[in-house]
Structure 1
Amino acid sequence: MLSSRGIAIIVFDGGLDIDIRQLRKIQRSILSLVTNGVLMAAILAAGAAYLLLKITFDIALLFGVFIDLGIRSMVWWDITICSRCARLMSSLKIWKFAPLKSLTARGYMYTSAKMPPFTLKEGTSTSIWLKELILENFMSYEYARIPLKPGLNLISGPNGAGKSSILLAISVALGQIYTERGRRLRDLIRRGAEIARITLVFDNKETNGRRPISVSDAETFMLSRYLRNDGHYWWEADYRQISYEEVNRLFKGFGIDPNNMLIIMHQNTMEQFSLMSPQEKLKLLEEAVGFSSYREKVVDARKRLEALISEDESISQLLGRAKESLGYWKEMHERYLQRAALEERRGWLKREVVWARIIKQETALQKLEEQLTLKKDALESNVAEMNVTQEELRAWRDRLDAWKTNSKESFFELLHLEKEEIALEKLTEHLRENELLFHTLGKHDEVDRIKARLEEADKRREELTEEIREVRSKLGAFERSLESTLDSYISYRVKEEVLRFKKELLETDIKALKREMETVNQKLMELQPLKERAGERIETERKQSEIENEISLVGAKIEALGKIPEETEEIYSNYAKLFEELQERSKIVVANKREGLKELEARKKVWRKAITDLLDSINSSFQQILAGISATGLARLVNGEDGEIENEGLELHVGFRGSPPVLFDYYTQSGGEKTASVMAFLLSIQEMLKSPFRAVDEFDLHMDPRNREEIYKMMIASMQESESLLITPSQLTVIDPSVHILVVQKVYGKSSVREVK
């Protein structure tokens, strides 16, 4: 009895994690246990009774069957009781939320053995709402339970307190992978912790006899996401492992998409929305309001049309090949005569391809030789011209040296004459002073003698002036001749360097040509055996690839000829019948293609009408909301001229303070105007959103106080029918008792949430 209870507990514990798909994989083993196992156990029990109790074999066999059935009945009864208890405990939520510390202490981690797959279906009801958010070791939260209510939930608190972390946690738990707060999800784990857990507790009460999440029998449904600092991330739904695809599929049915900013708008997302292309904005709107099916139908119609076009092309190709085959079999008797000609042609082509290779190399060698001759001639001419240039250069260099010598002599001569002229002027001045002195003293003889010397000095000054003029004229002539001499010298110098450079290039080219000639000669040597077998020379100008292609074609024709079977007539008849069937099929495909094109155009019209009606409805609310903040605007469809829905997009036009509406983008409006425009658009689509949960972080960013109050009033009026989450660091003076207010504070690095009653 004790062993049966133990087996029952083991089976009960394992049954909690059992997966029917795994049982199907081992169904043969299970069948063998419940059939052959029963028989073997009964026989073994009978044999033991026969040997130990010394009874007859028929009584022993009956005893073994009773023993086997008794043990199995007790185990089955215990398992049944435990299984029913397990279901009851699960439905009543007797198993409480396991503390994260206990998970860490037990070394809890993601493994497929401990966490068997748990299949979730898409949600079928929109009555789901998020009751509570539980954060453990997530960013600045060590442990927090955050209650939420249907209608408007307002989260307020100072900057940096952890408000945005709440919305980020919800998005991560719902399946968001990339976040602005951390390049990796493990960056979101609280510093010093090894594992973080985000748990969303959804209300799962029955409505009209059905639960929103049908796979759970409990009144609440718990979805947890685990983040480990070693890079392991996983989800659990009611303590059972599920995949990202299952999470996405579950919430897709409710219209909840954490990556759609019209449903969940994170901090700084409004600027991202303003930077989006019109096509991206339109797709976001379609997904948010549940209009994706219209686009999907158009895409499906286009895919079917493309498939028909592809089929039509395939049939056309098949028709072409069938026609060729039909002609082939029709003219089979003529191809007997072609075989000999084709064989002869193939032999000729094989010889031709050898000679084509040889001729190619011989032609290349001849061209290289011609180029080498030209290069050598050019090199000789270059060397000769270089020698002449060097002779001229030496002559001009001698002229420059002579000019230097003559100009230097003339310069020194001029210097000597100018010195003499200065000395003569000083002498003249001295004599005039003495003449005045002697005249005053009355020494007339000395005065006469000095006058005679002054006359000699004046005569010498005139001679010096003439000599200096002649020397300077001579130096000027030297300077004028230097310019022409120097220009000639430089030109010859440049010419010498150019010729030297050309010589080096020519020598390099000659070496390269010689190497290429050696390579070509080597190839000709390698072709020598083929040349001997190719026989008489064949002059051809065709390329080797062209001849080889023809050889392949001839070989294919010869292979195609093959042996003509006796069933030629039957084969020809079958091909004719196939050709007719393909023609009929082609007509059907062409007709289907026309219908497919009509269907595509019709679905485009349906999509465009649905989007146009949607925008008309949005504009009615959009303009009314903008009027409340003294603004005007509209949302309109653009780029619809070509008829391709992939090119069509959504543009918003807004105008503030009496100005006409202009295109809404990142650069035109101010920060407050951008925020007010986005919030007005979000409010205008609230009644059309499919998701029962919506959230906006910093909805009043950069807004002036009046617009903030007006937008908040409109949000209170339009977001009561769904579960909405608003985050703001500002203090709002408008108080509404229906608004559920939460205050976030951060003390000593730990964030906490307080509910305002």
Structure 2
Amino acid sequence: MTNPFLREVILENFMSYEYARIKLAPGLNLISGPNGSGKSSILLGISIALGQTYTERARRLSDLIRWGNDIARVTLIFDNSGNDGNRLFPSIKSSTVSISRILRRDGTYSFYVLGEERTKTEVIELLSMVGLDPDNPFIIMHQGTIEEFVATRPEEKLKLLEKAVGFEDYRRNILEARSKLSKILSEEEVIRERLADAESTLEYWRREYEKLTQYKRLKEREEELRLELAWSRIIGMENRIAKLTDMIDYCSRRIAKLERIGSDARSKLIDTEREFESTIFEEDRLLERVIASERFLSVISESSRILENYGGQLPIELEKELKRRAIDRERVEADLKNMYKVYSGLRVKERELIKRYADLRVEEALASFEVNRLLDEKKRIEVRLSELRSRMESMLSEVGGSSSRPHTVRSLAEVEEELKGIEARIRALGSVSEDIAAMYEKYRGVYDELKSRLEILSENKNLLLNELNDRIKVWRDALEKLLDDVNREFQAILEGFGYNGFAKLVNPHDIDRSGLEIYMGTPGMDPTPLNNLTQSGGERSLAISTFLLALQQYIKSPFRALDEYDVHMDPVNREAVLKHIVERISGERRIQYLVITPNPLPLAAKITNVIIVQKVGGKSRIGKIEAYVEA
């Protein structure tokens, strides 16, 4: 930048200054003067105007007011020229910005920006836009704060470094993610507790609901069994009806068969009677023939006997007649023999027909008797069947008709036995309210909602854990890269003084315990952490000064200040360090530096703006050398 960031510092009744205007140049500004002349008061005034509260020289701000006055004022004039997009303070249109802080003896104070009163928070927020923090020793190192910085805990050193280089967003992002995670964890714990309570309550209502469900299931089973019992009785009745129907069918079939038997018997009786009559007729005819044949045989026999008893030779005609008669007798005898045989057969047949007739008469009588008996039985069965069918119709009406008929039905005894068991279990459950279902659903809804919220929280927790780990990694990687870059420069500068050292990120995996530790090794010794026991005051000043030099290109603030960096240094190191400062800053117009030293100016240093401070008559006065070159 061509114009200085901080153009001018105006001190009014501030410490040893009654009124002073200190103009600053771009690049390096060196303030020099004897001890007690008021050099450090200039930087202290700048810090107070920037919002610093605590100072080493005064624990109360009112102690900084010049003796004999009640009000002190420090005003800083900043350059804000350029286009809106290039202004240091884009929200302010003025080419210069004045920030004043008024201190009062009663301990109160006020801030003003361009003459308008502002709160301290507003001023700090305005300055934070350009990375200016008066409490950060990496930006403004006050007199005596090197030792204080060395004694600062590593955790605080790291935070100061982060703010100085613009890494505070990394930590802020981590803390923001952790805060969100903490809230989620707290909410998760609350939800878990509520879920446990809801689960306990739900468990009670679940048992009651199971009891209700069991009660309903048992009642449904009871109804099913009662229906099955009714159907078992209906089916039993159907079976009886079927048996009666079968019996009627059997009777009908039996009656029909017996009627056919009777009819057949009557028909056979007629046939037998006819056959008997025919047989008797044949017997009579055969008997008449037998009688005729026997008469004829008797005549032949008598004639033959007479002829045989004729004494003497029979005439030929008689002899022939006798032979003929003998032949006739043989024939008749043969016929009679056959007729006797036939007659005997007819007599046998007659007896058989008589027996058959008797059997058929018995068969007809029995068939008729059985038909009459079966007809009576059939009527009785039909009356019983009608009664059963009427009762079954009534029972079907009670069960809702045949459409409710189950596929299978057990025996009546099996159904009654199970029904008794079901009724006993229903009695054992006692009274069960229908409101239980609504209560169970209500608390299950609460439980499900809490469980869903817990799952969402758990998912968000995992996302935040991953995000937190990612942010920590980004933060750690950025810091480690920064320190790697800074350490190369830091080590190179220290080697020029015969020392070695480095800055280290400790506890990098725990942001709360992580810190910055600066190590320095004396010639021939391994580097050790800076502390008041291991290194001398000059070595500590050298280490901090060179570390700040190595860090300069990474610091965000456009203004940096170093007060009495060379305290405790020997003249050689003091001159060498200042030479490094001048060489590093020489030609740098974008960053404004303010270095304060009480010691004589080195012989080989070119400084853009040298401010001389002296105290005359108890008042600090400002002198200036436009360009100083020691020949």
Paired letter, 1:587: E
Tell me which of 478, 481, 487 is aligned to 1:610: 478
Q: TM-score, normalization: structure 1? A: 0.51
Tell me which of 254, 261, 268 is aligned to 2:144: 268
Is the contact made by 1:197 and 1:227 (CA closer than 8 Å) also made in structure 2?
A: yes
Alpha-carbon displacement from aligned partner over 1:54-91 (angstroms, at most 9, x marks no partner): xxxxxxxxxxxxxxxxxxxxxxxxxxxxxxxxxxxxxx
> What is the correspondence of 1:35-46 to structure 2 with a 5 Å cutoff?
none
2:616 corresponds in structure 1 to 747
1:681 corresponds in structure 2 to 547
Once residues 277 and 155 of structure 1 are traced to their aligned partners in structure 2, the CA distance between those partners, rounded to angstroms, is 30
> What is the correspondence of 1:378-389 to structure 2 with a 5 Å cutoff?
none
Tell me which of 657, 660, 664 is aligned to 2:530: 664
Tell me which of 552, 559, 562 is aligned to 1:696: 562
Once residues 586 and 200 of structure 1 are traced to their aligned partners in structure 2, the CA distance between those partners, rounded to angstroms, is 55
Whether 1:653 and 2:519 are equivalent positions in the alignment is: yes
1:756 corresponds in structure 2 to 625
Tell me which of 577, 593, 616 is aligned to 1:724: 593
Once residues 711 and 620 of structure 1 are traced to their aligned partners in structure 2, the CA distance between those partners, rounded to angstroms, is 17
**SS in structure 1 opposite 2:172?**
helix
1:703 Cα shift? 1.3
Alpha-carbon displacement from aligned partner over 1:468-507 (angstroms, at most 9, x marks no partner): xxxxxxxxxxxxxxxxxxxxxxxxxxxxxxxxxxxxxxxx
Alpha-carbon displacement from aligned partner over 1:606-651 (angstroms, at most 9, x marks no partner): 21111110110110110011112221111112234xx311112111
Is the contact made by 2:50 and 2:123 (CA closer than 8 Å) also made in structure 1?
A: yes
Is the contact made by 2:5 and 2:558 (CA closer than 8 Å) also made in structure 1?
A: yes
Whether 1:169 and 2:21 are equivalent positions in the alignment is: no
Paired letter, 1:625: I
Once residues 5 and 512 of structure 2 are traced to their aligned partners in structure 1, the CA distance between those partners, rounded to angstroms, is 34
Paired letter, 1:288: A
1:592 Cα shift? 2.7
1:192 corresponds in structure 2 to 68
Whether 1:312 and 2:312 are equivalent positions in the alignment is: no
Once residues 232 and 299 of structure 1 are traced to their aligned partners in structure 2, the CA distance between those partners, rounded to angstroms, is 33
Once residues 191 and 565 of structure 1 are traced to their aligned partners in structure 2, the CA distance between those partners, rounded to angstroms, is 89
Is the contact made by 1:126 and 1:691 (CA closer than 8 Å) also made in structure 2?
A: no
Is the contact made by 2:89 and 2:129 (CA closer than 8 Å) also made in structure 1?
A: no
Paired letter, 1:742: I
Larger radius of gyration: 2
Is the contact made by 1:202 and 1:222 (CA closer than 8 Å) also made in structure 2?
A: yes
Paired letter, 1:264: I
Is the contact made by 1:127 and 1:212 (CA closer than 8 Å) also made in structure 2?
A: no
Distance 1:704-1:664 versus aligned 2 partners, 3 A rule: same
1:216 Cα shift? 3.0
1:501 corresponds in structure 2 to none
2:494 corresponds in structure 1 to 626
2:452 corresponds in structure 1 to 584
Is the contact made by 2:3 and 2:26 (CA closer than 8 Å) also made in structure 1?
A: no
Alpha-carbon displacement from aligned partner over 1:70-129 (angstroms, at most 9, x marks no partner): xxxxxxxxxxxxxxxxxxxxxxxxxxxxxxxxxxxxxxxxxxxxxxxxxxxxxxx99971
Aligned residues: 403
Identity %: 47
Once residues 309 and 299 of structure 1 are traced to their aligned partners in structure 2, the CA distance between those partners, rounded to angstroms, is 14
Paired letter, 2:159: K
2:465 corresponds in structure 1 to 597
> What is the correspondence of 1:516-535 to structure 2 with a 5 Å cutoff?
none
**SS in structure 2 opposite 1:685?**
helix
- Bigger drift between 710-719 and 720-729 goes to 710-719
1:215 Cα shift? 3.8
1:737 Cα shift? 4.6
Distance 1:208-1:592 versus aligned 2 partners, 3 A rule: closer
Is the contact made by 1:126 and 1:692 (CA closer than 8 Å) also made in structure 2?
A: no
Once residues 565 and 217 of structure 1 are traced to their aligned partners in structure 2, the CA distance between those partners, rounded to angstroms, is 77
Alpha-carbon displacement from aligned partner over 1:568-613 (angstroms, at most 9, x marks no partner): 5323222223323333333333233223222222222221111110
Paired letter, 2:538: G
Paired letter, 1:221: V
Tell me which of 121, 136, 143 is aligned to 1:245: 121
1:208 Cα shift? 6.3
1:275 Cα shift? 0.8
Alpha-carbon displacement from aligned partner over 1:694-748 (angstroms, at most 9, x marks no partner): 1011011121222112211211122334101000000122455552100001000
1:456 corresponds in structure 2 to none
Is the contact made by 2:566 and 2:597 (CA closer than 8 Å) also made in structure 1?
A: yes
Whether 1:705 and 2:602 are equivalent positions in the alignment is: no
Paired letter, 2:609: H
Once residues 127 and 605 of structure 1 are traced to their aligned partners in structure 2, the CA distance between those partners, rounded to angstroms, is 39
1:261 Cα shift? 0.9
Alpha-carbon displacement from aligned partner over 1:116-172 (angstroms, at most 9, x marks no partner): xxxxxxxxx999710000011101100100000110000000010000100000000
1:180 corresponds in structure 2 to 56
Tell me which of 276, 280, 285 is aligned to 2:156: 280
**SS in structure 1 opposite 2:624?**
strand
Whether 1:221 and 2:97 are equivalent positions in the alignment is: yes
Once residues 662 and 135 of structure 1 are traced to their aligned partners in structure 2, the CA distance between those partners, rounded to angstroms, is 42
Is the contact made by 1:128 and 1:204 (CA closer than 8 Å) also made in structure 2?
A: no
Tell me which of 602, 625, 630 is aligned to 1:733: 602
1:566 Cα shift? 7.6
Paired letter, 1:673: E
Is the contact made by 1:131 and 1:148 (CA closer than 8 Å) also made in structure 2?
A: yes
Whether 1:325 and 2:201 are equivalent positions in the alignment is: yes
Once residues 704 and 736 of structure 1 are traced to their aligned partners in structure 2, the CA distance between those partners, rounded to angstroms, is 18
Alpha-carbon displacement from aligned partner over 1:325-359 (angstroms, at most 9, x marks no partner): 33444566999xxxxxxxxxxxxxxxxxxxxxxxx
Once residues 210 and 181 of structure 2 are traced to their aligned partners in structure 1, the CA distance between those partners, rounded to angstroms, is 44
Is the contact made by 1:128 and 1:692 (CA closer than 8 Å) also made in structure 2?
A: no
Q: TM-score, normalization: structure 2? A: 0.61
1:308 Cα shift? 2.4
Once residues 733 and 605 of structure 1 are traced to their aligned partners in structure 2, the CA distance between those partners, rounded to angstroms, is 45
Once residues 524 and 210 of structure 2 are traced to their aligned partners in structure 1, the CA distance between those partners, rounded to angstroms, is 89
Is the contact made by 1:127 and 1:692 (CA closer than 8 Å) also made in structure 2?
A: no
1:267 Cα shift? 0.7
Alpha-carbon displacement from aligned partner over 1:340-390 (angstroms, at most 9, x marks no partner): xxxxxxxxxxxxxxxxxxxxxxxxxxxxxxxxxxxxxxxxxxxxxxxxxxx
Distance 1:331-1:228 versus aligned 2 partners, 3 A rule: same
Is the contact made by 1:626 and 1:633 (CA closer than 8 Å) also made in structure 2?
A: yes
Is the contact made by 2:582 and 2:606 (CA closer than 8 Å) also made in structure 1?
A: no
1:439 corresponds in structure 2 to none
2:301 corresponds in structure 1 to none
Once residues 333 and 296 of structure 1 are traced to their aligned partners in structure 2, the CA distance between those partners, rounded to angstroms, is 51
Q: Note the residue ranges of structure 2 that are not aligned, 5 or more in a row.
A: 212-431, 627-631
Distance 1:565-1:239 versus aligned 2 partners, 3 A rule: farther
1:59 corresponds in structure 2 to none
Once residues 218 and 304 of structure 1 are traced to their aligned partners in structure 2, the CA distance between those partners, rounded to angstroms, is 40
Once residues 521 and 210 of structure 2 are traced to their aligned partners in structure 1, the CA distance between those partners, rounded to angstroms, is 83
Is the contact made by 2:84 and 2:90 (CA closer than 8 Å) also made in structure 1?
A: no
Is the contact made by 1:630 and 1:658 (CA closer than 8 Å) also made in structure 2?
A: no
Distance 1:734-1:565 versus aligned 2 partners, 3 A rule: farther
Is the contact made by 1:221 and 1:237 (CA closer than 8 Å) also made in structure 2?
A: yes
Tell me which of 167, 178, 184 is aligned to 1:291: 167
Distance 1:716-1:737 versus aligned 2 partners, 3 A rule: closer
Is the contact made by 1:126 and 1:254 (CA closer than 8 Å) also made in structure 2?
A: no
